[in-house]
Structure 1
Amino acid sequence: MGENNNKCLYCVIGTLVVIGVILLVIILPLSFVTLEYYEYGFAKARSTGTVDTSTVYSGGKHFLGPNYEFKKFKADAHYLDLKEIRVFTADKLEVSITAHAQYFLRQDELPLLHDAYDIYYEDVMKTSAVDALKGAIPIYVTTELITKRPEIERVIYDAVRQRLGGKCCRPNCRAYKDACPAGCKARTTCKDSDKGLNVDVKYFQLTNIVITNDVMERLMEKLLQIEKNLREKHIQSATVIRRQTAGMVAEIKNQAKEIRETATAESQKVKVVSGADYTSTVEKARGAGLRQLYTSLGINKTEHKNSFDYLRTLRGLDNIHLTIDFQQRIAGTLK
């Protein structure tokens, strides 16, 4: 009797062990849940649908239990296409802009994204990006969209990045190029409201700017009017410059005439003074010479001096010829 009881007990235990092994073989694989390398996930209870956001899982096999599965999010790039977005420029003209961006969910902020938008975040990202683009363009006039394209691409990218990614610095500033842009808030002072929509916009491409024919015609008319205004302004400036130049030329000619007349007057003055000095010098020398001559010849009487001076003066004239005719003089005497 005791042996039969022991056999039954062994049968029950064996059966339980077999059932346990079977359950283990069935349940254990079901307890491991797989995430691909391009996925993030939260543990979600199959029975109640409750999501545990305390832990963000990344790619690999994870032991959660047979009652859990993953609520999955994309860990790779999300493509954001902003096609033919109509915006107004600073000169009140409408243009169409097409751009593309690639953003990535932040693993550390995925609970915040889930609490705010669940898995329906893509439309919110696109709407916010469109608003950011529309807010960045109106500081430029239409012509600058063509001449300053690299600058405008950067401005739009910064606007979209800040709208979707917020103002906070990322934990690892070397993660990508703009992980910690200039002026970003330190993590210690950053609030959840400063984190934007909890994504990183890492890449941006401005592909097309379309200016419609109507807008182009108005733009060309405006540019033509600007050119006409500039032409008129240049013509007026040229007229003023010509008048100023003519005035300067007249002034310079007057100055030259004044200088010439002054020089002529000075030369006449110098000539007159020189002539007077010359005459004075000559007369002084003549007087000194005559005195010395009178002394040497012994001429003392005034009438003799006058006669001598008169004869000397006649001798110095070019049209006077002095001759002595002794025969005529003798003939006159004989008569």
Structure 2
Amino acid sequence: MMPEVVSRRFVIRQPPPSTSVIHSKKVVVCSVIFAILAVLTAVIVIPMSFSYLEYYEYGFKQQKSTGKVWLENIYTGKRYFLGPDYNFLVYPADSQPLDLIKIDVFTKDKLEVALSAHMQYFLRKDELTLLHKTFNVYFDDVMKTSAVDALKGAIPIFTTRELIQNRSSVEKVLHSAVRQRLGGECCRPDCSQYGQACPEGCKPVPLCTDKDKGLHADVVHFQLGKYYIPSPVETRYMEALVLQETTLREQLLQNASVVRKETQAIVKEIKNQAREITSNATAKANLITRVANADYRKSIEEARIIGLARCLSSLNITDEEKKISFDYLRALLDNGKVRLNINFDQLIAGKL
């Protein structure tokens, strides 16, 4: 029989770790976890803590969880660090268009017409707190309703004909009425802010109360749109306008005929004056020419007489008959058509 082999294994056992080592490892692990959570929380919370306002916006600080609004500060376009539970209650800082289409109104002559108007208003930053206390952010319908009431109250001072013929005056009156209804009776702190910032008769700022400030908006621009007049009335007005234009056309034609005749008379008068001036100038020119020729001949004759006297004196000619003969021959020679001959055999050429 084979001998039985017994194998033995040797196991080396380490002593168990101490309690302090285990505790320190747990602290490290917890610290790492808390650090990671803190970083994640910061990464998530910090971006949520920033709130933004565009350049065309105003805002009040508002708490998301409770809805509470702080009215102490009015914020303008910028980035702000408010916290994760806060944002902005936003109001517009730019112009707000308000279009009123086919508003039924009554004129002074008891005729119902419709009109359209367009306006642009701005919320007053210095009165934004009062606006929020009164309307919160629901002011659009109030602005439109108040503008319609202002138009209906201002139109009855005009007749239908005045609406058509004095459009610029009507537009100014309506603008003033809407501006007063939405902006109140107070002067603005800066009268150069826009054209109607301080209208005539407005109350100075120190004397104004909250009731005098209207709806806290400035109607800076106003455009009167189209009129909608009932068809029969419009037809009568169109016929009246056509008749008026026809009358003006006839007047213009008559005036043109009169102007043409007057122009023709002026042209004839100017031509007569021109002929008269030309005749006078011609007569004066002829007179001057004749006087000049006479002076010329006078000068020539005086020179001839003086020259003849000197010539006769130089030749010692004293006999009067010879002087006359000499002068006669000289006069004949001055005539280019005379040819002199002695006994018809000898030609006397040249001047003596």
Q: Does the TM-score normalized on the shorter chain lie above 0.5?
A: yes
Shift of 1:122: 0.9
Shift of 1:101: 0.3
Of 106, 110, 115, the residue aligned with 1:97 is: 115
Of 179, 184, 197, the residue aligned with 2:202 is: 184
CA contact (8 A) 1:93 1:215 kept: no
Q: How does 1:146-185 map to 2 (within 5 A)?
A: 146-185=164-203
Q: Using the alignment, how far apart are the partners of 2:155 and 2:45 within structure 1?
A: 58
Q: Using the alignment, how far apart are the partners of 2:174 and 2:185 within structure 1?
A: 16
Q: How does 1:178-257 map to 2 (within 5 A)?
A: 178-216=196-234
Q: Pick the structure with more helix per residue.
A: 1
Amino acid at match of 2:72: S
- Map of 2:43 onto structure 1: 25
Shift of 1:198: 0.8
Q: Using the alignment, how far apart are the partners of 1:30 and 1:170 within structure 2?
A: 39
Amino acid at match of 1:160: V
Of 46, 50, 59, the residue aligned with 1:41 is: 59
Computed over aligned residues only, the root mean square deviation of the Cα atoms, in angstroms, reads 2.6
Instruction: Give the TM-score taking structure 1 as reference length.
Output: 0.61
Of 113, 117, 128, the residue aligned with 1:110 is: 128
Shift of 1:173: 2.1
Residues 124-143 of structure 1, C-alpha deviations (whole Å, 9 max, x = no match):
11111011011111111111
- Map of 1:70 onto structure 2: 88
- Map of 1:244 onto structure 2: none
- Map of 2:343 onto structure 1: none
Instruction: Give the TM-score taking structure 2 as reference length.
Output: 0.58
Shift of 1:160: 0.2
Shift of 1:80: 0.7
The percentage of counterpart residues that share the same residue type is 52
CA contact (8 A) 1:40 1:56 kept: yes
Q: Using the alignment, how far apart are the partners of 1:17 and 1:166 within structure 2?
A: 59
Q: Using the alignment, how far apart are the partners of 2:30 and 2:206 within structure 1?
A: 62
- Map of 1:321 onto structure 2: none
Q: Using the alignment, how far apart are the partners of 1:219 and 1:108 within structure 2?
A: 48
> Does 1:139 find its partner at 2:161?
no
Q: Using the alignment, how far apart are the partners of 1:62 and 1:175 within structure 2?
A: 29
Shift of 1:52: 2.1
> Does 1:128 find its partner at 2:146?
yes
**SS across alignment from 2:160:** coil
Question: Structure 1 unaligned runs (5+)?
Answer: 224-335
Q: Cα gap change, 1:17/1:173 in structure 2, threshold over 3 Å: closer, same or farther?
A: farther
Question: Structure 2 unaligned runs (5+)?
Answer: 1-18, 241-352
Q: How does 1:261-300 map to 2 (within 5 A)?
A: none
Amino acid at match of 1:153: E
Shift of 1:19: 3.1
Amino acid at match of 2:98: L
Shift of 1:180: 1.9
**SS across alignment from 2:169:** helix
